[in-house]
Chain A
Amino acid sequence: MEDSSVEATYTQRHSCSNVTVRSRRTCTKEKDREKQRAAVPEGHRVPLLSHTNTQDVNGTPVKRQSNNVPLCPLLCVAALSFCTRFFRLTQPPHVCWDETHFGKMGSYYINRTFFFDVHPPLGKMLIGLAGYLTGYDGTFPFIKPGDKYEHHNYWGMRGFCAVLGSCLPPFAFLVVLDLSHSTSAALIAASLLIFDTGCITLSQYILLDPILMFFIMGAVLSMVKFNQQRFRPFSWSWCLWLLLTGVNLSGSLGVKFVGLFVIILVGINTAWDLWRLLGNLHLSLVDFAKHLIARIFGLIILPLFLYTTIFAVHFIVLNRSGPGDGFFSSAFQSRLIGNNLHNATMPEYLAYGSIITVKNLRIAGGYLHSHWHLYPEGVGAHQQQVTAYMHKDYNNLWLVKRPDSDDDTGTPELVRHGDIIQLEHKETTRNLHSHLHEAPLTKKHLQVTGYGINGTGDTNDLWKVEVCGGKKGDPVKVLRSKVRFLHRTTGCVLYSSGKTLPKWGWEQAEVTCSPYLKETPNSQWNIEDHINPKMPNISLHVLKPSFLEILLESHIVMIRGNSGLKPKDNEVNSKPWHWPINYQGLRFSGVNETEYRVYLLGNPVIWWLNLFSLALFLVMVSVCSIALQRGAKLEGAKRAHCQVLMEGGGMLCLGWLLHYLPFYAMGRILYYHHYFPAMLFSSMLTGITLDTLLQNADLLFNPAVSKYILRGGQTVLLGGILYRELYLSPCAASTCSALSPMA
C-alpha cells in the first residue's frame, strides 16, 4: 500500500540528501557517527551537520574507515576466537560425524573421482584444496565415524575450517559496530559467538558449516559496509564492497543451497536501496540506471559467473568414474573416464534384433531387469519377476523383436514410433508381459512379468513404442529419445514406481504397468546400451552434453536428492522448534562412555539469552514504531536508538527469519546444526537489543544510576556467559550429557 507517509519521507529525504552531498568529507569519528544517524530522514539534525562538515577538508575514505573501528577490541575478539577454535583442534584423532562425508569428498577431489552430493561443490573443493596444500594425499577412506586417522594428515582440513570459523566473531563485531555505532553492542555480539560452545564445536571439524557461515557473514558484512558507502557512490571502496558482496553470495550458494537465504536478504536490502534512490529526484534517471546496472553486475552477473565457474572446475577436476555415476543420465556418464559409456560406440537408431538395456528416466531410476525368480504365491500371477535394478548387470539385457516375423535376414529394420514390438529377456528368453493382475506394491497398477519360453509368448507380450514428442514413423534414437512402452491389450504404460520390493524381489525396485497415461519420468525410459552387429556404430562423442546441460542436470539431481532425504519413520527427527531452545544436541563422536565424546550443543545461557532478546527486540521495536507513528517527540539520542533498532535490528531480525522459517516448510530431514546460520543473526541482534536497552536505562532510573546499570549489565552479561562456559568444560570429563569440545 502506498500512502501519504511515503510522501512525507520523500520530502524530508529531499532536504537530507542535499546535506549528505555536501558532507562527504567528514573526518572525525564523532562527527561521522553523527552523520550516520542523521543520514536518515531527520529534519532537526540537518543544521548541526551542515555546520560541522564545512570544517573538514582532508581525510581519505580508507583512513576514515580505520579510524572508525576501535582496533583494540577487534584484535582482542580475533585473538580470543582463534584461541577458542584452535584449542585441541586435532582431538579427537578419529572421524567425527559428517567428517565421514565431507572428508571423503575432499579426498575424491584429490583423487579426481566423480561423486554425487546434495550440496554444491565449493565447500568440499575448498576442503580438498586445504588437504592437498597441507600434505594430505587422499588415501584415508573415511568409512565411518570413529575410524582412527593414524598417520594421515587431517589437521590441515580441520585447521582450514577452524580459520573460517574463527572469522565469525570479528565479522559479527564489525557488522554490529556498523549497524549500531556502539562498541559495547559489538562486543556483546562477538563475545556471544566466541563463547558459544555450539559455534566452537561446529568450527573444529571438517564440515561445510564453518565455510557456509563464513560466506554468509562475509556477505552480510560487505553488504553493511556497502550501505555505509551510499553517500559516495562509485568511489572505489563503494565498488569494492559491492563486488565483495557478490563474491560472498556466490560463495555461500556454492557451499550449500541454504546460501539462498542470504541472497534473499541482500536482494531485499538492495531493492530497498534502489527504491530509495529512485525516490531521490535529484538523481537523474541516467544516474539511477548506472546504479541499477552496477548492482545487477555486482550482485547478479558476477555471482552467477563465479557460481558456474565453481561447477566448471568441479566437472573438470572430477573426470574419473566413481560412486556418483548411477545418479546421472546416460549422456552424463559418457564423459567420465572409466565409465563403460566413455568413448563408447554404438548404433545410433534402435533396430529390430538389437540387444539393449533400458534405463528409467526418473532421477536415480534403474535399468529394466529380470532374473530366474518367480513372483511368490499370492502376489499376482506366479510368473517371472521383472524389476528395476540400479547396477549394471547381464540380466539388464533385452532383445528387441518384431512380433509377426522371425526372419532376420538382410539389413536390420529400424524401430519406429508407433511400432508394436516384443522385448525378450536375453538371459531367460522370457518376454516382457503384462496382464490384469494387480502389481505387488502399487495396487492400482498392473503386474509386469516375464512370460513364455524361448521367446514365444502370447498377445499380452506386445508393446507399442512411443517416442515422447515424436510422431508416427520417427526412429528411436539411442540414449537421446525418451521412450514409452504402451501395453497393447490393456493400454497401460510401463512404469517404475521407485518402491522397493520385499526380500523375495531382492530389494530391487518395482516395475508396473500404469493405467494413468500421463507423461512422467516414471513412465519414460531411454535406451542406454545398444548392441547390433549389423548396424554401423557411431561414436557417442556427439552425444557429449554441453556444459549448460550438465550444470542443469546436476542441479536437478541435487535438488531431487535433497528433497529425497526424507526422515525414516523410526529415526529421531529434529524439529525446527527444538533448535532455538537448545532442546536436543547432536552427537558428533563417541558412543561408549570411555571414548572421547563430542556433543554439539549451544551454550544454554547464550541461547536462552538470544531467545529472550528476540522477544525483547519485538517489544522494543513495537514501542518505538508506535511512538513514532503517534508522533511522539523524541530527543536526539533516543531517536538515534530507535533508528538503530528499527533499521539495523530490523535487518538482522529479517536475516534470522529468512534463515529459520523456511525450515518449517522443508520436507527433508533436518538436523540441529541447520540452525547455526540463524543463530549468528540472532546473536548479533542480541548485541544491538541489549545494548540499546542498557543505554536507555535512564528512561526508568535517574542518569547516575543508569550509568551504573549500563556498566553493571555489561559485566554481568560477560560474566554469565563465561561462567557457563567454564562450568560446561569440566563437565565434559564426567558423564554429563552436555559435553563441550573443550574437554
Chain B
Amino acid sequence: MQGVKLPVSVKCEINVLLVLVTALGFFTRLYGIQFPKSVVFDEVYYGQFVSLYMRRVFFIDESGPPFGHMLLALGGYFGDFDGNFIWNRIGAEYTSNVPVWTLRLIPALAGSLCVPLGYLLMVELGYSHYSALGASLLLLMENSLVVQSRFMLLESVLIFFLLLAVLSYLRFYNASKSSLFRWLWLFLAGAGCAFAVGVKYMGLFTYLLLLSLAAVHTWHIIGEKTLSNGKVVVQVVVRFLALVVLPVMLYLGFFYIHLTLLYRSGPHDQMMSSAFQASLEGGLARITQGQPLEVAYGSQVTLRSASSKPLPCWLHSHKANYPIRYENGRGSSHQQQVTCYPFKDVNNWWIIKDPGRQSLVVSRPPRAVRHGDIIQLLHGMTSRFLNTHDVAAPMSPHSQEVSGYIDFNVSMPVQNLWKVDITNRESDRDVWKTILSEVRLIHVNTSAVLKLSGVSLPDWGFRQLEVVGDKIYKGYQQSGVWNVEEHRYGTSHEQKERELELKSPTHDDISRNLTFMAKFIELQWKMLTVKNEESEHKYSSLPLEWITMDTNIAYWLHPSSNAQIHLMGNIVICTLANVALFVYVLLFLTYLIRRRRKIEDIPEACWKQLVLAGVVCSGGWAVNYLPFFLMEKTLFLYHYLPALTFQILQIPVVVEHLYTHMLRSSSQQKAFGGVILAALCSVYLCYRTFSPLTYGQPELTAEQLAKMRWRESWDILFRKR
C-alpha cells in the first residue's frame, strides 16, 4: 500500500449478465407466490411450528434444528401473523389473518438467490462467464427447484446456505494471500455451514465435505517450507476458529434463541423431563409452583417414570385387584393392581413413610429422605403399601408382580420395604429432591427394581401400563428410573382429611431454572432420539427413483378444477446432469491413470481446476445423495434437491472442458456450440411445458394433463367430472 490516493474514487463494475439472471431468478420464484391461497403440502407441517413460534409455545421437532423454522417464523413476524390457524389439512383455505405472501417470501428469496450463487460459484471454480451463465440458466429452469422455492418449505433455504458456504470458501481460497479481506470470506463460509446445518441436518454432510477440502488445503500450507512455523500456526488456528468454533457457537446460538423465544408450555411438554417442563411458563410450572424441594418422610408425591416409552406416565394404583387367574391360566396374587397411568389423577399420589414410625405427616422440621434410606410407599387413596413378591407379573412373566398389599392370610407375607437409590447423586448422602432427583426404588427382600415394562394391561387393568419388579435389572435403564413430580408435605392425620388434601391442588412458588446448556443438551438429545412412527406415504419414494426422476409429488390440487401443482424435475436437465456426472467420472479416471503413467494430456493447472470442480460438484452431489441409502425414514423426492443442485453445476464444468480440450478444430467447436444451444432450448421447452404444473396456473384440461404424463410412474391427478 502506498497510502491513500486522493481524491477517493469509487470504481463500479456491474456484471450485466449476473444482474440479468438474478432478476430472472426473482421473477420465476417470486411471481404470484401468494397463489394458491391454501395450504400446500408440507406447509401443513412447517406451518404449525410457525404458529407455535408466533404464540411463543414450546415445541420439539425431531426433523431438524430450529434455525429453519425460525426463518419461516420470521416471515410470519413480518406479516404480523398471530398464529391462529389450524394446520391440519393440505388444501385448506388460508384465513385472512395468515400473511401468505410474507410467509412464502423468505424461502422464495433464498431460492432466487441460488441462481446468481450458481453463477458466481462457476466463476470462482475458474470457468468462463459463458459456463457460469449456463449453470445459472439451468438452475433457473429446473422446475423442481422453482416449486420448492415458492412455498413455505425449507429445501431452498438449505440449498442457498450450502451454495453460499461453498462459494465463500472458494472465494477465500482463490483470494490473494495478502489481503485481509479474504478472512471475512472464510468466516462467512463457516457461518454458511452453520446456517445450513441449522436448517436441516442434511447440511452436515456438505459441511464435512467442506471441512475435508479445507483440511487438505491446510495440509498443503503446513507443507510449505517457505512459511515460518509461527505463520503456519496462525493459519491453522484461524481456519479452525472459522470452520469449527464459529459453526458450533452459531449452532448453540440457534438453540439459545429458540429456547428464549419459546417460553410457554405446549403440546410437546410431556416428552421433556420434569425439570425442563418446570422451566416453561404454564404447564407443569403452574402445577408445581412452590413445592418443597426436599422429599421427606410423610411427603405426598406423584412418581413419574423417566421413560416416555410408550407414554409418559405416573405410578398409579386403584381399587381393583389382579384377576385370580389370567386368560392363559397363570395365577396371580389377587392383590390390588399397581400400574402406570398416562394422565394426571388423584390415584397417582403416594405417601412416603418411614418403616420405623406410624406417622404419615411431615414432622417439624421435616426429616429428609436420603440416598440409601429404606422407605415404604403408601397409596394415598386406598392406603395400600407398594409391594412386590415372587409372583410372575401379568404380562411380563419373567419379572415380579407389583401390587398394593392386601393380606388374604394365604402365607404371602408383606414385602413392602424399598431402598431409595438416587442415580444422579453427587454424594452418597444426597437428599431426594423434587423433580431433580432420578430415583430407582430397589426392593429390599428381592433386590428387584421397580420398573415400567412398557406393555399395556388388558381390559381388567383398564389398558393402563404394566409396572413390574425386575430382578435382572442391569446398567442404566430409563424405565427403571422415577422422579417426584408433584410434591407436598402431608399434614392430615386422618384418611378422610388426607383424601381431601390429595384432591386439592398444590401451592406455593419457587422457580427452578435450568442452565441453558442443560436445556440444550436435553432438547438436542430428545430431538436425536425421539422416533416418529414409520409412516408410509402415498408419494414417498426410494433414492434410486430420484436419479431418473421417476417419481413426483402432488403438492396441491384446486378444490374444483384440474389446476394442480406438482414437484417434478425437469427431465432434460436431469438427464443432462446424469450424463455430465458420468462423463466427468470417466474423464477423471482416465486422466488420473494416464497421469500416473506420466502421460500429461492437459496442463497441471487445468487438471487441478478439474479436480476442484469435481470435488465441489460431484462431491456435493454424492454427500447429499448417498447417505439416503442408509436412512430408514420415509423419503421424498424433495430430499434429492440439494444433490440435484450440485449435479446441475457439473454440466457446464464438463461442457467447457470438452469444448476447450477435446475439440481440436473450430468447426467441431462450432458444431458443439450448436448442440449446447439446442440442449438449452430443449431445457427451456421442457420448463415451459411443465410450468402449468409448477405454477398451478393456467388450468389444464384432462387431455393436456394426460399428455404431460411422460413417465408411467408419474402420478398426475385427474378430477372426475
Chain A interface residues toward B at CB < 8 A: 1-3, 5, 275, 278-279, 281, 285, 444, 503, 515-516, 569-570, 572, 584, 626, 629-631, 665, 667
Contacts of A503 in B (CB 8 A): 327, 458
A3 touches B477 (CB 8 A): no
Does B454 sit at the interface, judged by CB under 8 A?
Answer: yes
Q: A629-B219, A629-B223 are in contact. List 8 more A-B contacts (CB 8 A).
A: A1-B216, A3-B220, A278-B593, A570-B479, A630-B223, A630-B229, A631-B223, A665-B630
The closest CB in chain A to the CB of B598 belongs to A281
If A630-B222, A631-B225 touch, whether A572 touches B475 (CB-CB below 8 Å) is yes
| Most chain A CB inside 10 Å of its own CB: which residue of B232, B475, B615 | B475
Bound-state CA distance A654–B477 (Å) is 33
Per CB-CB distance, the 4 closest pairs between chain A and chain B, nearest first, are: A629-B223, A278-B596, A631-B225, A572-B474
Per the 8 Å Cβ criterion, residues 470-516 of B in contact with A are 474-475, 477, 479
Does B364 sit at the interface, judged by CB under 8 A?
Answer: no
Contacts of B611 in A (CB 8 A): 1-2
Contacts of A278 in B (CB 8 A): 593, 596-597
B584-628 vs A, CB cutoff 8 Å, 1 = contact: the mask equals: 000000001101111000000001100100010000000000000
The closest CB in chain A to the CB of B220 belongs to A3
* A493 CB to nearest B CB, Å: 13
Partner of B309, one of A5, A515, A569: A569
The closest CB in chain A to the CB of B221 belongs to A629
Contacts of B225 in A (CB 8 A): 630-631
A2 touches B453 (CB 8 A): no
A5 touches B327 (CB 8 A): no
Does B536 sit at the interface, judged by CB under 8 A?
Answer: yes
A516 touches B536 (CB 8 A): yes
A569 touches B454 (CB 8 A): yes
Chain B interface residues toward A at CB < 8 A: 216, 219-220, 222-223, 225, 229, 232, 309, 327, 396, 453-454, 458, 474-475, 477, 479, 535-536, 538, 592-593, 595-598, 607-608, 611, 615, 630, 632
Contacts of A569 in B (CB 8 A): 309, 454
The closest CB in chain B to the CB of A569 belongs to B454
* B536 CB to nearest A CB, Å: 6
A570 touches B454 (CB 8 A): yes
For this complex, 11 residue pairs linking A to B, each with C-beta atoms less than 8 Å apart, are A1-B611, A5-B223, A278-B597, A281-B598, A444-B536, A569-B309, A569-B454, A570-B479, A572-B475, A584-B474, A631-B225
The closest CB in chain A to the CB of B615 belongs to A1
The closest CB in chain A to the CB of B229 belongs to A630
Contacts of B327 in A (CB 8 A): 503
The closest CB in chain B to the CB of A515 belongs to B538
Bound-state CA distance A308–B598 (Å) is 41
A629 touches B222 (CB 8 A): yes
A570 touches B453 (CB 8 A): yes
If A503-B458, A665-B630 touch, whether A281 touches B223 (CB-CB below 8 Å) is no
Bound-state CA distance A275–B589 (Å) is 13
Contacts of B477 in A (CB 8 A): 570, 572
* A246 CB to nearest B CB, Å: 25
| Most chain B CB inside 10 Å of its own CB: which residue of A2, A503, A515 | A2
Bound-state CA distance A3–B224 (Å) is 13
Contacts of A584 in B (CB 8 A): 474-475
* A407 CB to nearest B CB, Å: 37
* A523 CB to nearest B CB, Å: 11
* B636 CB to nearest A CB, Å: 14
Contacts of A516 in B (CB 8 A): 536, 538
Contacts of B219 in A (CB 8 A): 629
Bound-state CA distance A279–B453 (Å) is 63
Contacts of B454 in A (CB 8 A): 569-570
Partner of A2, one of B474, B592, B632: B592
The closest CB in chain A to the CB of B227 belongs to A630
The closest CB in chain A to the CB of B593 belongs to A278
Bound-state CA distance A572–B480 (Å) is 12
* A659 CB to nearest B CB, Å: 19
B595 touches A2 (CB 8 A): yes
Bound-state CA distance A667–B633 (Å) is 13
Contacts of A1 in B (CB 8 A): 216, 611, 615
Bound-state CA distance A285–B216 (Å) is 31
Bound-state CA distance A477–B335 (Å) is 59
The closest CB in chain A to the CB of B222 belongs to A629
* B528 CB to nearest A CB, Å: 13
* A574 CB to nearest B CB, Å: 9
The closest CB in chain B to the CB of A591 belongs to B472
Bound-state CA distance A584–B475 (Å) is 8
The closest CB in chain B to the CB of A1 belongs to B216
* A459 CB to nearest B CB, Å: 20
Contacts of A572 in B (CB 8 A): 474-475, 477
Contacts of A285 in B (CB 8 A): 597
Contacts of B479 in A (CB 8 A): 570
A275 touches B216 (CB 8 A): no
* A506 CB to nearest B CB, Å: 12
Bound-state CA distance A584–B596 (Å) is 50
B220 touches A275 (CB 8 A): no
| Most chain A CB inside 10 Å of its own CB: which residue of B232, B536, B538, B630 | B536
* A439 CB to nearest B CB, Å: 13
If A2-B592, A278-B593, A569-B309 touch, whether A667 touches B632 (CB-CB below 8 Å) is yes
Contacts of B607 in A (CB 8 A): 2
* A507 CB to nearest B CB, Å: 11
Bound-state CA distance A631–B224 (Å) is 9
Contacts of A3 in B (CB 8 A): 220, 608
* B131 CB to nearest A CB, Å: 22
* B281 CB to nearest A CB, Å: 34
* B325 CB to nearest A CB, Å: 15
The closest CB in chain A to the CB of B468 belongs to A570
Bound-state CA distance A102–B475 (Å) is 28
The closest CB in chain B to the CB of A583 belongs to B475
Contacts of A629 in B (CB 8 A): 219, 222-223
* A138 CB to nearest B CB, Å: 31
* B2 CB to nearest A CB, Å: 35
Contacts of A444 in B (CB 8 A): 535-536
Contacts of B220 in A (CB 8 A): 3
* A627 CB to nearest B CB, Å: 10
Bound-state CA distance A444–B537 (Å) is 10
Partner of B597, one of A281, A631, A667: A281
The closest CB in chain A to the CB of B399 belongs to A570
* A534 CB to nearest B CB, Å: 39
* B551 CB to nearest A CB, Å: 10
Contacts of B229 in A (CB 8 A): 630
The closest CB in chain B to the CB of A502 belongs to B458
Bound-state CA distance A279–B225 (Å) is 26
Bound-state CA distance A665–B631 (Å) is 10
A279 touches B596 (CB 8 A): yes
The closest CB in chain A to the CB of B396 belongs to A570
Contacts of A515 in B (CB 8 A): 538
* B710 CB to nearest A CB, Å: 20
Partner of B222, one of A275, A281, A626, A665: A626
Bound-state CA distance A394–B479 (Å) is 43
The closest CB in chain B to the CB of A442 belongs to B536
* B646 CB to nearest A CB, Å: 18
* B88 CB to nearest A CB, Å: 16
The closest CB in chain A to the CB of B216 belongs to A1
Bound-state CA distance A516–B539 (Å) is 9
The closest CB in chain A to the CB of B454 belongs to A569
Contacts of B396 in A (CB 8 A): 570
Bound-state CA distance A443–B278 (Å) is 35
The closest CB in chain A to the CB of B451 belongs to A570
The closest CB in chain B to the CB of A285 belongs to B597
Contacts of B597 in A (CB 8 A): 278-279, 281, 285
* B589 CB to nearest A CB, Å: 12
Contacts of A667 in B (CB 8 A): 632
Bound-state CA distance A629–B396 (Å) is 62
Contacts of B536 in A (CB 8 A): 444, 516
If A570-B454, A584-B475 touch, whether A275 touches B223 (CB-CB below 8 Å) is no
Bound-state CA distance A569–B536 (Å) is 22
